[in-house]
Amino acid sequence: MMSLEDNLNRVIVGDDLLNRIMDVIRPPGEAVYYVCGAYVLESIRSMEPGGILLVCKNNPAEVAKSLGDSFSVKPVKVTWNNDVYHLYPEGKSSRGITLMRMNGRNITEHLAGSGFTVLSMAADLGSAAPMKLIDPYMGLKDLESKKLRVSSEGAAAGIPDRSLTAVGLCASYGLTPDPRALDELKKASRGLVEVPPGRVFRRLLRTFEGGGLSRKARIMRETGIIGSVIPELAAIYDVPQNYYHHLGVWDHTMKTLDNLEEIMNNLPGSFPANGREMEAYLSRGVEGGFTRRAYLSFMGLLHDIGKAVSIDVLPSGRIRFQGHQNEGAKLAGGIAERFEVGKRGRRYMVEFSRNHMKLGFLAKKNESTLSRLAAVREMGDLCVDLCVHSLADRAAARGDAVTEEALSGFTRLTRRVASDYFWSVKRERLIDGNDIKVHGGLNEGPETGELLMKVLVCQREGLIENRQQALEYIAPDFKGRMKC
């Protein structure tokens, strides 16, 4: 049976990128390189490794230049640390290479600064195979016992970003912080307010790119990250809900994240007609290198923040959250501004919050092609994201007022709206407002938009198939007009 150390050797030997790196920098004499950090952790667990962290005993600037020349890319120096360099051999979407100088007299001293024992493991790339795992702080034992421990006194407390690193580690490997680690993580979280807000936001989005969404959120709550950097979200912790829900706002949010993750991992299962198109759509970028899926996951966490400020308890005891989506949009805008989010990311956050109830309101009406297409138009390019979220959100509401029949009906509605969206972006534009003015005899105004929408509905229902039919629809005497 293959041991965990065997896994490490197998991955290192079979890693084409790492072998290409070593072909370039494998030196004679004194130079020594260690592969460290998440790469070792992922390899031990037989996971597909991501970026490569190389610790250099010699000057990393020279090594970075050699690799840059070989891969025809320019190394990027990390501004806050002159001895750290990043390279992306095939562009930003590829696996990255990070080079850093060894801190301390030897690799054991260097690994003490890694923060957590499970990240304080390394392999000497200069040693003969099979390479022995360097594990001075018993990270492998902690990995097997599902424990997150700090590698040295103050290793996490003094570096605020490490609280976010801990979230990813705990979610990915099923780890639980021990009391000492938890205490340090709480101290680190309080320090996040001093970290450049843009960097915090990027770390948050990166955290929500992967799986284990609700577990990550719960760890963020336990370690104080949410209270420190998103107090608007912390305000929902103890907010109760009405009879449409069986859970309070926070627990409902956690269930929504679970559903959201399940749906996104199998979109063809939830949206049989358009699942593959939706996968491609959610893989598109919003800004800063982050996809719609990352933003959607993050907004799944924030979608009900408006409930804390809009709760209204009637004398009968009934709870209402009227207008919570609008309050949420205001709060989302404030969060985006505080985190220095760019224009496109801010728009996503605000409009998502404002429209996340759109399909719920639509379900209460007498659904028609007209009402669905109107909703598609109002949601715009967020339609796909909101369809996915709405299905997850509705499935997390299991109160006394909710029936299985209603849930099934809502599922069918979201599928139809998603299909309407993809049809609308691919359809042929038959006429425009100018045609309405020339041939329909109407000037610009609400009636023009209403008539264009009627044509769109007829086109969607197959009653109008070409421009000629559309013109005859808006002006029955169209043929006569053309002769004049």
Instruction: Give the CATH class of 4-145.
Output: alpha beta
428 vs 84: CA distance, rounded Å: 52
Higher pLDDT residue, 319 or 98? Answer: 98
Per-residue pLDDT at 60: 87
Per-residue pLDDT reduced to its tens digit, 137-184: 999 999 999 999 999 888 888 889 999 999 999 998 999 999 999 999
pLDDT band at 130 (very low <50, low <70, confident <90, very high): low
Higher pLDDT residue, 359 or 366? Answer: 359
pLDDT band at 77 (very low <50, low <70, confident <90, very high): confident
Domain chopping of the chain, boundaries: 4-145, 149-229, 241-421, 433-483
Residue type, 79: T
pLDDT band at 482 (very low <50, low <70, confident <90, very high): very low
Instruction: Write out the two tokens for 103.
Output: 């801190």
Q: Which residue has the tokens 């006429």?
A: 431
CA distances from 195 to 12, 81, 118, 161, 221 (A): 35, 15, 24, 8, 18
pLDDT band at 33 (very low <50, low <70, confident <90, very high): confident
Instruction: Write out the two tokens for 165.
Output: 């690193």
390 vs 410: CA distance, rounded Å: 9
Mean pLDDT taken over the chain: 89
The answer to whether residue 205 scores a pLDDT higher than 60 is: yes
215-219, 257-261, 317-321: range with lowest mean pLDDT: 317-321
Backbone angles phi, psi at 114, to 5 degrees: -75, -10
Q: Is the pTM of this model over 0.75?
A: yes
Per-residue pLDDT at 95: 85
Per-residue pLDDT at 301: 97
pLDDT band at 480 (very low <50, low <70, confident <90, very high): very low
> Average of pLDDT values for 184-196?
94
Per-residue pLDDT at 80: 67
The answer to whether residue 296 scores a pLDDT higher than 80 is: yes
- By CB atoms closer than 10 A (0-12, 13-18, 19+), residue 102 is buried
Kindly tell me the number of DSSP H helices and DSSP E strands found in the chain. Answer: 27, 13
The answer to whether residue 419 scores a pLDDT higher than 70 is: yes
Per-residue pLDDT at 483: 37
pLDDT band at 1 (very low <50, low <70, confident <90, very high): very low
25-39, 122-136, 393-407: range with lowest mean pLDDT: 25-39
Higher pLDDT residue, 442 or 162? Answer: 162
CA-closest candidate to residue 249, choices 170, 316, 315, 319: 319
- By CB atoms closer than 10 A (0-12, 13-18, 19+), residue 11 is buried
Higher pLDDT residue, 481 or 243? Answer: 243
> Average of pLDDT values for 337-359?
97
> Average of pLDDT values for 40-58?
87
Backbone angles phi, psi at 79, to 5 degrees: -60, -35
CB-based contacts of 173: which residues, under 8 Å, 6+ apart?
41, 45, 118, 143, 146
